[in-house]
Each structure stands twice: as C-alpha cells, then as structure tokens.
Amino acid sequence: MEAKTYESAENQRYGRSDLGVTNLAAVRTAGKDPERLTNRGPSPPDLAAINGRQQQTWGSGDYTQIGSRLVLMSELLCEAVDLHPDQTVLDVAGGTGNAALAAARRFGEVTCTDYVPAFLEQARRRADAEGLAIEIQEADAENLPFPDGSFDVVLSSIGAMFAPNQEQVARELLRVCRSGGKIGMTNWTPDGFVGEFFHATGRHVPPPPGLKPAFRWGTEAGLRELFGDGVRDLTITPRQHMFRFRSPEHFVETFRTYYGPTQKAFDALDAAGQERLNNDLLDLARRWTRAGDGTAIWPGDYLEVVAVRA
Ligand SMILES: C[S@@+](CC[C@H](N)C(=O)[O-])C[C@H]1O[C@@H](n2cnc3c(N)ncnc32)[C@H](O)[C@@H]1O
C-alpha cells in the first residue's frame, strides 16, 4: 500500500491528496474498485476544487528556493516582448516575482499577482532590496481582478500553465491585455526534462482523471487552441533553461524540501512509496545530467511565447 491515511472525508472517499491528484492505491484501500469507477465513464473533473487544492499545494512549499534559480527565463522573456519603459505590465501566477522584477528593471509599471500571499510578500521584499517599485495583488489566474484591456503587456513565466481551467485562464490573459498589447509566456514542454519529471511523479501520485496536462501550454497546437483568434500574431521560440545542482541527490532533496508539488507528492505516500519516488527522481536526474564531474546539470526545454492581442 502506498497511500497514507487522508484526513478529510472527501480524501478518504476519493483518495485525493492536496496535490489535486487521485491516488488509486487509496481508492483500493477505501474498498472501491477503480476499474468499476472507470467503466461507469469518467465524470468531468471538478476544476474549481482542483484549483483550491493546488493553491494549498503551491503554498506548502518555499518557492523562493526554486524561483531564484529561474530568474533568467523571465529576463529573457522581457526582452522577447521588447518591453518599453512605462508600459503597464501584469505578471500572472508570478510567484516570488521573477517576471515582475524583470519588467520593473526595465521601468515597466508592474503589478505582480499570484494566489499564494506568502510568495507575493517575498516578491515585495525582493523589489525593496533592489529599490524597484511594483504593486502586488493576490489574484487567481482564472479570475483576474482587473478591467478589460488594462495592461500593455501580460506576462506569465511557467505560472499560468499550471491552473486547471486552461480555457478560462486563456480568456483571462486575453481579456486584461489591450488590443495590440503583448502576452508573453514561458511554458515547459511535455517531452523535456520537466515533462518527464512530472510524468515520473504522476506514476506514483496520479493526476485527476480528465484533467488536461499543464504541458498543453508547451505545445504550438495547444497554444493555438487556447488563444484561438484572440491573438493576431504568435511567435514561439523553443529554449532551454539549464538546471544546475551539486549532485542528483541535491536536486531531489531541494525539490522534495521546497517545491510544493513534489513535497505534497511525497506527503501522499507511505515510507516505501516515498523511497520508490525518491529513487525514480534520482534515476531521472542521473539519466539527464551531462555534467561529467558528479554535479548535476541538464537542459529543461520550454517554449518562449509572444502573442500580439487581436
Ligand atoms: C512554477 S511557479 C512559477 C512562479 C514564477 N512565475 C516564476 O517564474 O518563478 C508556479 C506559480 O504559479 C502559481 N499559480 C498556479 N496556479 C495559479 C492560479 N490558478 N492562480 C494564481 N497563481 C497560480 C503558483 O502559486 C506558483 O507561484
């Protein structure tokens, strides 16, 4: 048995962890037959409930320790959208403020949003340390609290891609961007390291049935479906972010300790399950590393996306 006992009645019934995943081992433990559930036909996922659980999941980590290693992606994104001083800029799912700070360094008039208040506080401290002015506002990417067309530039660096209601997020990104303005995103691709990392985790703690993978945002087809005719120009540039850790063990330990989704996946497993997940993630890091000196260095593929609002 891999699953720990879940506290809430809902978790006991459906074997769901806070990660927003359904753990089939827990379904079996609760005396349900997952195949019979499947034969009844999949019911559509409750996207609002998943969004709520994911919010807790992100908030349970210390994203500062992860985000500070991803600064370059946001710096490059601001160059890709050719940010001009005094443009109004919104950072969606901004975490601890990477894209917001990159935009503020270019004299953008920036609002940083996320649905984890502690991350935004960290963004504020980082801005203060650099003497940069940014607004922070708690906001769900699926329901942005801004009027239509409020921003010249809307950014989201590996952020909005994780919200479960993808169509709604796409509508919101388009809605708050003025006509002729730009939407800039970075999105991990499904077949790169991060895709494999989530896939490996999902083998132990599977995602909710019917949920569209976040990596849809990391494909051209997915982006065209999601933005549709809301954009009149779409430039997609494949890029790589280099992961650099002291060792494969250091990588796994860092993610296990600080990255909410990984931390919660481990929390959902018993000791034996945790060891299996740990070993799988270690294998992954060992397979991907190209450092050759015992350190762990490999590329993470992502798409850098610049869309012009129709
Ligand atoms: C991988 S982190 C990226 C953070 C930041 N953009 C960066 O570049 O480091 C994903 C972020 O998305 C946020 N997030 C996920 N779903 C969200 C939603 N529905 N609304 C607001 N924020 C969300 C999480 O809280 C987290 O801060």
Predicted confidence (pLDDT) per residue in 218-256, tens digit: 999 999 999 999 999 999 999 999 999 999 999 999 999
User: Is the per-residue pLDDT at 38 higher than 90?
Assistant: no
pTM: 0.88
Mean pLDDT of the chain: 89
Instruction: Measure Cα distances from 201 to 118, 139, 180 in Å.
Output: 25, 28, 40
Task: Tell me the C-alpha distance between 209 and 173, whole Å.
Answer: 26
Residue owning the nearest CA to atom 14 of ligand 1: 93
Beta strand 134-138 pairing with 109-114: parallel
pLDDT of residue 26: 33
- At 13 the pLDDT is 25
User: Is residue 305 pLDDT above 50, yes or no?
Assistant: yes
Q: Whose CA is nearest to atom 27 of ligand 1?
A: 95
Name the band, by pLDDT with cuts 50, 70 and 90, for residue 187.
Answer: very high
User: Which is the closest atom of ligand 1 to the Cα of 93?
Assistant: 22
pLDDT digits (tens, 9 = 90+) for 134-167: 999 999 999 999 999 999 999 999 999 999 999 9
Distance of CA 273 from the midpoint of ligand 1 (Å): 27
pLDDT at position 129, please? 98
CB of 163 sitting under 6 A from ligand 1: yes
Mean pLDDT within 5-28: 30
Q: Helix or strand or coil: residue 214?
A: helix
Q: Which CATH class is domain 1-34+41-310?
A: alpha beta
Cα separation values, 26 from 204, 212, 275, Å: 12, 22, 18
**Gap from CA of 53 to ligand 1 centroid (Å):** 13
- Average pLDDT estimate for 250-270: 97
Write out the DSSP string of 39-103.
HT-PPPP-HHHHHHHHHHHHHHS-THHHHTT-HHHHHHHHHHTT--TT-EEEETT-TTTHHHHHH
Pocket test for ligand 1, best of 18, 51, 60, 63 (most atoms within 8 A of CB): 63
Question: Is 29's pLDDT higher than 90?
Answer: no
Higher pLDDT, 71 or 208: 71
Q: Which two tokens stand for residue 308?
A: 């012009």
Whole-angstrom Cα distance, residue 286 to residue 305?
Answer: 30
The Å distance, Cα 186 to ligand 1 centre, comes to 12
What is the number of the ligand 1 atom nearest to the C-alpha of 55?
Answer: 25
pLDDT over 90 at 263, yes or no: yes
Instruction: State percent of the chain over pLDDT 70.
Output: 86
173 lines ligand 1 (CB under 6 A): no
Q: What is the pLDDT of residue 74?
A: 99
Whether pLDDT at 195 is above 60: yes
Going from the Cα of 293 to the center of ligand 1, the distance in angstroms, rounded, reads 33
Nearest CA to ligand 1 atom 6: 94
Query: What's the gap in Å between 119 CA and the centre of ligand 1?
Result: 9
Residue 47 CB less than 6 A away from ligand 1:
no
Domain locations in the chain as residue ranges:
1-34+41-310
| pLDDT-derived band at 44, boundaries 50, 70, 90 | confident
**pLDDT given for residue 14 in this prediction:** 25
Question: In this structure, what token pair is assigned to residue 169?
Answer: 């997020």
pLDDT band at 43 (very low <50, low <70, confident <90, very high): confident
